[in-house]
Amino acid sequence: MADISANFLGIKSPNPFWLASAPPTDKKINVLRAYEAGWGGVVWKTLGSQVKNVSSRYSAVDYGGHRVMGFNNIELISDRPLDINLKEITEVVKLFPDRAMIVSLMADNNREAWHELIQKCEDAGAMGFELNFGCPHGMTERGMGAAVGQDPHIAKMVVEWVMEKATIPVITKLTPNVHSVVPTGRAAVEGGTNALSLINTIQSVTGIDLDTLVPNPYVAGKSVFGGYCGPAVKPIALKMLTTIAQDELTSRVPISGIGGISTWKDAVEFMLLGSTTVQVCTAAMKHGFRIVEDMCEGLNNWMDEKGYQTINDFIGKSVEKITHWEDLDINYHHIAKINQDKCIHCGLCYIACEDTSHQSINIAKGNPYNTYTIKEEECVGCNLCKLVCPVDACITMEEHRVAPEYINWKQWQERGLPLNDH
Amino acid sequence: MIQNNRLTTEQYGQNFSDIHPPFETEDAALVEANRCLFCYDAPCTKSCPTGINVPKFIKQITTENIKGSAHTIFSSNIMGAGCSKVCPVEKLCEGACVYNLMDETPIHIAKLQRYSTEIAMEKKWQLFDRKPSTGKKVAIVGAGPAGLSCAHTLSREGIDVTIYEKESKGGGLMTYGIAAYKVTPAFCEDEVNYITSIGGIDIKYNQELGKDITLEELQANYDAVYLAFGVGLARQLEIPGEDLNGVVDAISFIYELRTNNYSALAVGDKVAVIGMGMTAIDAATQAKRLGAKEVTLIYRRTQEEMPCTEHELNIAKLDGCNIIWLATPKEVIGVDARSDDPVGRGKVTQLICETMKLGDPDASGRRSPVPTGETIALDVDMVIKAAGQMPFEDMANINHLENRNGKLTVKEKTATNLKGVFAGGDCVNGGKEVVDAVQSGKDGAKAILNFIF
């Protein structure tokens, strides 16, 4: 059995699965249920000034009959009194001392407010902090959340205030509502943050009610941009994570990955791109805390299968595999192959290729089943047919190198090789 | 003993309720619709005689465009609602669904088609516009699927259509010849009304060709005539005892069932049904559901050659019908001849069958049954003949319509030998599915439009 425990700047947890700062971590009752279910840690929902929430708060994007492919919310930070939150944190830590207890913070924009909040939370038993520089709605209008994270100078200043006071590890959470997360990430590291986490939610409109014409979520005839999360944002989160993991400065601190993680496979992908721990919210909100069982078991079985003893054996292993386009090997070429024994003759590969790609699939009309075959000389190896095929491993991509040696775009140009294939 | 009123009202209700119930909820329909892969040049569409764009109408359910979905169905098949209940889909669209090749349950196409079309009918959506009247008139004989389909297509083009129907209701075999648990008489009536609600279609009921009207009159008074009078005469067994009291033909048996209260219908204790087509299955299951104690289907070939689908056979088996393969009726035995008996030969007591074995393939490509010389005797008090239907050969000959054994001969799918007289449906093909008749109605309308304009 592999060891799936995590050690994040000395904060230990039996597994790398934390619940992200969000409604599931707002109260003792939720967090106890999460720990009983097996979660490795939580980031307690953001504490700060007293706020008031609205109703409703959430909306979702469904796709192809599946609910909550994407999810958004317009909830603010914790709307419960600070002293209740602190008291419950103390109680939870006492009951589950082996789990990570990170507290998310968003104080008013002055040094004293931050210092006071930090002191209270450390006294309550917090093991680490996560600075909420990412919340994209509501709090930003008051100059907090993403308003901080979107300005590297302000972010650095606030991190510096925090580092003056904090005696436990500090994680800075980044907003994705920027053209690049790296400048703020760097600013936070320069300000002294011990770690980074990303991504927070993405500003969004999930949809509009076609009867009332009011976008979602609905609040008395109006709506507001909500923070988008869930499976739909995972690819964007992974990209942003990669830029942090590849940056010379930001890569020096550990990362807690966030963004649409629903399964152990998603978690492994975040870890392969540099996350030491991962944070989950939407999947738990959709299915409850029980999802952690398969996350632990799946990770364990995968690690055993691959021969990894600890999570450190594979964290970051895919970071260097994402490169610049101009470094890609132009001589690599693969061609689609349709396994006729597996083909169910749905024609999806054909119509996708014919209408939108490279007209590389032959159709031989039959009644009722047509036969589809690849025109090898036309196929550019784009993968589209394989992606739309509903049968697993029916279409495979077979390697047919143009030439054995590696050659990239820069070398191609330098050698004056022909550019036009057509 | 042959008697009626065998069951309670509740039992009749249960026995004749919908055998393929619809989706109970919109969610249920959506789950199924979302399974559809949206195939290109889809095998289901190609396997539908009317060529319904199945992936499109299912996709339209998933986008909650039910009006569009119903339009897609009705554009190809104006009886799409009825067909969703009576089509043998396992040998048509659902049989071709690519999921079969993945060993997965095929998409429940019929059920989804029923979903969209039922909503359209319930809400009385007018999905088609009739062009302004052209002043051209077409007479149609028979308000069955072929006639209605032809009429609707013509009316859309501004033709004024008059349908002459010998029965008192429209729908043809849909109304009079299909098991009651598939379509109710009320549904058939709604469907006819929905089709004719486009306007420009006048159905004259109780008007029989050769009796109330003549083909010559129609030719004289209309710009074209479309014959869609179907088939109807039950094929005779031509064995001794066929005229005994208790021997009925399946068409009449089902007709009675479709036009009376269930409790009024008399059925025997022990019923033999001859044949293994869809009508035989319908007759057998309906007899059982009317309260017959024992129903036995008798077929001269084996399951390999049977004309009904496996699905239909299973309905009969689940209803508890017995099946005797490789047997052909030789004689019906009767007793108790009474003076008041109209045929004076008494009641059925036994059916004698000769057992068969399979020989060489015949013209249909199926192995033909060969007599063994051995016989078996079945104690029965009712015999239902479902050995096929015969075309109206005399009607064809009297009207000088070229035909082969009564089946009207047509050129380019629709034109008879008489100028301006077209034909389609069962009277041409000898008896196929409703969906085939609908397609021939469309073909007929197209040919008529070409002829007129």
Domain limits of chain B?
21-122, 137-232+390-452, 236-387
Put simply, whether B53 touches A (Cβ < 8 Å) is no
- CA dist list (Å): A60 to A226, A232, A285, A342, B246: 10, 11, 12, 36, 66
In this predicted structure, the answer to whether residue B302 has a pLDDT above a threshold of 60 is yes
* Nearest by Cα to A281 from A109, A75, A105, A121: A75
Calculate the average pLDDT of chain A: 96
Would you say the C-alpha torsion B173, B177, B183, B189 has a positive or negative sign? positive
Neighbours of A313 (CB within 10 A): 13
In this predicted structure, the answer to whether residue B189 has a pLDDT above a threshold of 80 is yes
Per-residue confidence band for B316, with pLDDT thresholds at 50, 70 and 90: very high
| Catalytic-residue membership of A135 | yes
CATH number for domain B236-387, candidates 3.50.50.60, 3.10.20.30, 3.40.50.1000, 3.40.228.10: 3.50.50.60
Asked if residues A49 and A114 have their Cβ atoms less than 8 Å apart, the reply is: no
Per-residue confidence band for A78, with pLDDT thresholds at 50, 70 and 90: very high
List pLDDT tens digits, range B64-111: 999 999 999 999 999 999 999 999 999 999 999 999 999 999 999 999
pLDDT number for residue A100: 98
Domains B137-232+390-452 and B236-387 fall in the same CATH topology: yes
Spatial neighbors of A355 by CB under 8 A, at least 6 apart, are none
- Parallel, antiparallel, or unpaired: how do β-strands B201-204 and B421-423 relate? unpaired
Put simply, the answer to whether B46 touches A345 (Cβ < 8 Å) is no
The mean pLDDT of A84-95, rounded to a whole number, is 98
Per-residue confidence band for B345, with pLDDT thresholds at 50, 70 and 90: low
In this predicted structure, the answer to whether residue B196 has a pLDDT above a threshold of 70 is yes
Per-residue confidence band for B20, with pLDDT thresholds at 50, 70 and 90: confident
- Parallel, antiparallel, or unpaired: how do β-strands A170-173 and A195-198 relate? parallel
pLDDT number for residue B453: 93
CA distance B201 to B226: 14
List, as ranges, residues 372-391 from A with C-beta within 8 Å of B: 390-391
Spatial neighbors of B104 by CB under 8 A, at least 6 apart, are none
- CA dist list (Å): A256 to A146, A199, B218, B370: 18, 9, 85, 80
| Percent of chain B whose predicted confidence (pLDDT) is above 70 | 98
CB nearest A390 (choices: B30, B37, B40):
B37
Residue B379 corresponds to which tokens in the numbers above?
A: 């104690």
Domains of chain A and CATH, by start: 6-321 (3.20.20.70), 326-414 (3.30.70.20)
* Nearest by Cα to B113 from B186, B39, B179, B57: B57
pLDDT number for residue A377: 95
* Nearest by Cα to A235 from A255, A260, A204, A211: A260
CATH number for domain B137-232+390-452, candidates 3.30.390.50, 3.50.50.60, 3.30.360.10, 1.10.3720.10: 3.50.50.60
Put simply, the answer to whether B98 touches A351 (Cβ < 8 Å) is no
CA distance B254 to B173: 10
List pLDDT tens digits, range B142-167: 999 999 999 999 999 999 999 999 99
pLDDT number for residue B342: 60
Comparing A153 with B344, the larger pLDDT belongs to A153
Put simply, whether A344 touches B (Cβ < 8 Å) is yes
Q: Domain B21-122 sits in which CATH superfamily?
A: Alpha-helical ferredoxin (1.10.1060.10)
Put simply, the answer to whether B41 touches A347 (Cβ < 8 Å) is yes
pLDDT number for residue B69: 98
What is the residue whose two structure tokens read 């997360």?
A181
In this predicted structure, the answer to whether residue A137 has a pLDDT above a threshold of 80 is no
pTM: 0.93
pLDDT number for residue B344: 56
pLDDT number for residue B339: 62
Put simply, the answer to whether B43 touches A369 (Cβ < 8 Å) is yes
List pLDDT tens digits, range B7-17: 999 999 899 88
Neighbours of A302 (CB within 10 A): 17
The mean pLDDT of A393-421, rounded to a whole number, is 93
In this predicted structure, the answer to whether residue A289 has a pLDDT above a threshold of 80 is yes
In this predicted structure, the answer to whether residue B188 has a pLDDT above a threshold of 70 is yes
